[in-house]
Amino acid sequence: MKVFEFPLARITISFLLGILTAFTCRPNPKWIFGLLICFLLLTCFFIFLVRKSRKNNRYTSLLCYFISFLTGISSLIIQTDSFQKDNYSNHKTVFEKEHSVTLVIREKLKNTTYNQRYIALIKSIDHKNYSGKILLNISKQSTLQTLQTGNILRIQAYVQKNKKPDNPNQFNYGSYLDKKQIYAQIYANPTAIELSSELQKDSWFYIAKIRTRITDNLQKAHFDPTALTVAAALILGQRQDIDPGIIQDYQYAGAIHILSVSGLHVGFIFLFLNFILIPIPNTRKGSFLKLSIILSCLFIFAFVAGLSPSIVRSVTMFSFVAIGLHLRRSVNIYHTLLVSILLILLFQPYFLFDAGFQLSYLAVFFIVWFQPVLSQLWKPKNKIAKYSWDILTVSFAAQIGTLPLSLYYFHQFPGLFFITNLAVIPLLSFIMFLGIIVMAFSAINFTPFWLTKPLEWSIYLLNKIINTIASFEQFIIKDIPFNFSMLTFSYLLIIAFIIWFKKPYFKNSVFALLSIILCQLTFLSNKWQIQHQEEWIVFNQKRNSLIIQRQGNEVVVYSKDSAVAKNKMLNSYLIANFCYIKNQKEIQHVAYFKANKILILDSAGIFPENTKPDIILLTQSPKINIDRMLLSLQPKLVIADGSNYKSMLPQWEMSCKKQKIPFHATAEKGYFQLK
C-alpha cells in the first residue's frame, strides 16, 4: 500500500500508538514531558549533523517517529481532565456524602424512560472550587422547566461514580462516559434543585440559542414535529429528540449514517457554498474572499452542529480541500486524511475512541482506495446509469470498509443498504440544499410557507422510503457474534484481497491466501475455546431472578419469566459468547455446578437443616432468620440477587461479616460468576 510509504503516514501511526499507550498504561506525565524535551534536543542535534553527513538520515527519521509517539502520549495527558488537580474525580471525599453542588448546563442529551439528562460543568462543591464534566439526571415527573445551556444550578445530592456493567457482556456505559471525560453522575431530587436567575453566557450558550431560535421559529410555522426532529438531526446534528422507531427504521435500512452529520452532509454544504459564490471573480483577492467565507461557514456550522467527532473530521478535511483549491494545487486525499487525523487528535485525542470517528475515517479511506477500482469494472455511457453506478460503488466500498467494525459494535448487517443509498442520496442532496436555506432564514425569523413546506414534504418522503425498506426484516441479519480477534483478521483479509484485486501478482496472491488461513484459524480457535468453557452465572435483574448455566455454546436458563428469551441483557451475553438457549427451566431449590452445591432460597425461606451447601443464593426476599441459618448451614459464600428488597441487604451483609462469610449482592457488585 503506497499510503504507508508516506513519511506522514508513519508519523501518524506513531502518534496513534502514543495515544493508545497513554490510554492503556496512564504513564507519569513528568517522565513523558521530560523524555519529549530530551528527544527534541537530540533530534535538533542530529539534524545539525545531517547537513554534514547523509548517513544520519535514518536515525533522524527514527527520532521523529519516537517524538511523534511521545507527542501522542502527551496530547492525551494534557487533554485528560482527571490529571487536573482540581478535577472532582481526584477527591475521594466528593463521593462519600451528600454535597451542595453548583454546576452549569452545557448540553442536553436524549432522555431516558424516567429521566431528563444533561451534561453539566461543575463549578463548586460545598463552596470549594472544582472542575470537570458530570452527567445530570432529573426525574421527568419534575415540574422544573426544561433546562437550557448556560443555566446555573445548585443541587443538594450525592455524586456517584460511574458503575461497571451489572451483567456480563453488557454495554459498558461507565467506560463510555469515562472516554467522554464524564467520571460521575448526579441523580437529582427536583425539590433539592435551586435554579439561578443568572445565565453563563459563553460561546456554547449563544450556539444553543441559535439552534433553539431555529427550531422555535419552525414550530411557529407549523412545521411537522416528526419531520422537524429529522431536519434537526440532518442539518443541526441534534438527534436527541428523534423518535426511537424512526432511528430503528434508519438502522434496519442501513441509513443510520444519514442522521449523523458527517462527510456526506458537509460535502453538500461545501458544494452549496461554492455554487452561491460563483459570482465572485477568481482573482487573487476574490479567491481569498471565497476561501475566507467557506472556512468561516464550515466552522460556524461545526459549532452549531455540536462539534461531534464526525463533524470535526469532515469540516477539517473539506477545509484542506478549500485551501488546496485556493492555492490552485491538486489535493492529495491521503495527505488530507493524515493531516486531519493529526490535527484533530492533537487537540481532541479522545475522539480516537469514538465509534463514529472510527467508522467515518474508515469509510472515507476505503472510498478513496477501493472505489476507483470498482468504478473501472463497468463504464456506462448513459448519465443516469453512470450516476447510479457511482453511488453503488461508493456505497459498496464504504460498506466493505466499515463492515467488520459495524459487526463488532452493533452485531447486525442491513442487507438492503445499496437500495437505500440509490433511493435516498438524490433526495438527501435536495433536502440538504433546501434545509440549509430554510435553517438560515429561520435563524433570522423568516419562515415562508413556500420554503418550509417543500422541506417538510421531502423529509416525509425520505422517512417513508426508509420505513418501506426497513419493513423487509428478512434482509436484516441480526445478532451476529463478532469479537476483537475476528475484527482484526477480517480487516487483514479485506486489505489483502483489495491489494490482490488491484495487482494480482504472485506475492499478493500468497498474502491473500495466508490471510484466509489466519481467518480460518481465528474462527477455529474461537470455537475451540468456547466449546471448552463452563460457567454458572447469577444475573442482576430487578424484581426477578435469572440464572444461566453454560456448557460450550449451549445455555440452560433458569427463570420464572416466560419471555426471558427476549431479555436484552441475556441476548447480549448469548451474542458475545457465541451460544444459544438450549432449554429453559424453573428455578429449583438445589443446583450443582462442578464441585459446588448451591442452595436457592425463595420468598418462602424454607430450608432443610441437614443440608450442607457450599453456596446459598437468596432470592425474592426470603423471610428467614439469617443468623440462625448461617450457623446451621455454614456456607462458604452467600449471594443475594436483584429480586430482593434493597433494604434487607445491609442486615444480611452484617450477619455474614459476623460469621466471616463472604457476601455478594448483585445490586451492588453486579453479576456473580462461577467457572
Identify the bridge partners of residue 194 per DSSP, sorted by sequence position: 154
Element (H, E) at 477: strand 476-477
Nearest Cα to 260, choosing from 277, 225, 235, 285? Answer: 235
pTM exceeds 0.75 for this model: yes
Q: Assess whether pLDDT exceeds 90 at residue 296.
A: no
> Tell me, what's the pLDDT at 663?
93
DSSP three-state, residue 414: strand
Whole-number Cα distances in Å, 5 to 44, 335, 515: 24, 12, 22
User: What are the cell numbers at 22?
Assistant: 497513554
Q: 598-608 as b/e, with b when 16 or more CB fall inside 10 Å?
A: bbbbbeeeebe
Mean pLDDT computed over 603-623: 84
Q: With left for phi above 0 and alpha for psi between -120 and 50, is residue 140 left, alpha or beta? A: alpha
Nearest Cα to 403, choosing from 425, 391, 418, 389? Answer: 418
Q: What HEC string does 193-207 produce?
A: EEEEEEECCCHHHHH
Question: Cα(157)–Cα(357) distance, rounded to whole angstroms?
Answer: 35
CB contact set of 225 (below 8 Å; sequence gap of 6+):
219
Whole-number Cα distances in Å, 222 to 201, 317, 430, 499: 30, 37, 21, 54
Residue-wise pLDDT for 223-251, tens only, equals: 888 888 888 888 877 777 788 888 888 88
Mean pLDDT computed over 265-282: 77
Element (H, E) at 188: strand 182-188
Task: Provide the sign of the torsion angle of the four alpha carbons 347, 353, 355, 359, taken in this order.
Answer: positive
Q: Spell out the domain ranges in the chain.
A: 2-78, 88-200, 209-347+414-477, 354-413, 484-531, 534-674
CB of 235 closer than 8 Å to CB of 436:
yes
> Tell me, what's the pLDDT at 525?
92
Question: Cα(527)–Cα(520) distance, rounded to whole angstroms?
Answer: 11
Confidence of residue 47 (pLDDT cuts 50, 70, 90): low
Long-range contacts of 172-180 (CB under 8 A, 24+ apart): 177/135, 179/350, 179/353, 179/354, 180/133, 180/350
Question: Cα(79)–Cα(73) distance, rounded to whole angstroms?
Answer: 10
Q: 458 or 432, which is more confident?
A: 458
> Tell me, what's the pLDDT at 386?
83
On the 0-12 / 13-18 / 19+ scale of CB atoms within 10 A, 114 is exposed
User: What are the cell numbers at 3?
Assistant: 499510503
DSSP string, 643-665: TS-GGGHHHHHHHHHHTT--EEE
DSSP 8-state code for residue 163: P
Q: Assess whether pLDDT exceeds 70 at residue 50.
A: no
> Tell me, what's the pLDDT at 491?
92
Q: 422 or 533, which is more confident?
A: 533
Q: Domain 88-200: give its CATH code.
A: 2.40.50
Backbone angles phi, psi at 436, to 5 degrees: -60, -40
Q: 432-456 as b/e, with b when 16 or more CB fall inside 10 Å?
A: bbbbbebbebbeeeebeeebbeebb
DSSP three-state, residue 30: helix
Task: Out of 20-34, 534-548, 569-583, 655-669, pick the least confident.
Answer: 20-34
Q: Assess whether pLDDT exceeds 90 at residue 662.
A: yes
Most confident of 256-260, 316-320, 476-480: 476-480
Question: Cα(332)–Cα(459) distance, rounded to whole angstroms?
Answer: 35
Q: How far apart are the first and last CA of the chain?
A: 45
Q: 219 or 605, which is more confident?
A: 219
Q: 572-596 as b/e, with b when 16 or more CB fall inside 10 Å?
A: bbbbebbbeeeeeeebeeebebeee
One-letter identity of residue 153? L
Nearest Cα to 226, choosing from 250, 249, 248, 243? Answer: 243
Confidence of residue 255 (pLDDT cuts 50, 70, 90): confident
Q: Report the chain's C-alpha Rg in angstroms.
A: 29
User: What are the cell numbers at 425?
Assistant: 442520496
Task: For the chain, give the mean pLDDT.
Answer: 84
Grid cell 441559535 is found at: 210
